[in-house]
Amino acid sequence: TQVAHQLAVNVQMDREHGGLGGSVIIIDTENTFRPERITQMVNGLSEKYGMELNPEEFLQNIHVARAYNSNHQILLVDSAVDLANELKEMGKPVRLLIVDSLMAHFRAEYVGRGTLADRQQKLNKHMHGLLRFGDLFNACVVV
């Protein structure tokens, strides 16, 4: 989760400072996104580079969706495609999609060997949706 938070900040930096100048979509399955941590990280980058960075601007470019179950998690990837198209037109393309965590709902909903085939089939569909997102938007996908 900490790495995901740091990536969500870094990807927004301009290319001169190692970023991609884009926005971020986070599919949060365990309610672990912490805006205050983003603020701390942005302030750290301000000190590191000796420039004034506004944490609120960074937070505005992080779009968080809370997934309540595995089906919802899969549907949120479709919603992410719609949002990414809007953001692309607004000049702030999505350069990073984070799923934190990929397996939490699948592990909780599909218990035992009897459900393994169904879980793997659904997980495969989900992973292909994430790959498609990355290809469509030239974005990194981190799970």
| 43-52 contact pairs (CB < 8 A, 24+) | 45/9, 45/13, 45/17, 49/17
Distance between CA atoms of residues 39 and 92, nearest Å: 20
Render pLDDT for 106-141 as a digit per residue (tens, 0 to 9). Answer: 999 999 999 999 999 999 999 999 999 999 999 999
Residues facing 62 on adjacent strands: 24
- pLDDT value of position 143: 97
pTM value is 0.94
Angle formed by the axes of helices 2-10 and 35-49, nearest 10°? 50
Q: How confident is the model at residue 10 (pLDDT cuts 50, 70, 90)?
A: very high
Q: How confident is the model at residue 85 (pLDDT cuts 50, 70, 90)?
A: very high
* Total domains in the fold of the chain: 1
- pLDDT value of position 79: 98
- pLDDT value of position 78: 95
- Domain holding 67: CATH number? 3.40.50.300
User: What distance, in Å, lies between the first and last C-alpha atoms of the chain?
Assistant: 10
- pLDDT value of position 32: 97
pLDDT over 70 percentage in the chain: 100
Distance between CA atoms of residues 12 and 96, nearest Å: 9
- Structure tokens, 129: 């949706």
- pLDDT value of position 140: 97
Render pLDDT for 42-78 as a digit per residue (tens, 0 to 9). Answer: 999 999 999 999 999 999 999 999 999 999 999 999 9
Distance between CA atoms of residues 113 and 139, nearest Å: 35
The range of the structural domain enclosing residue 75 comes to 1-141
- pLDDT value of position 21: 95
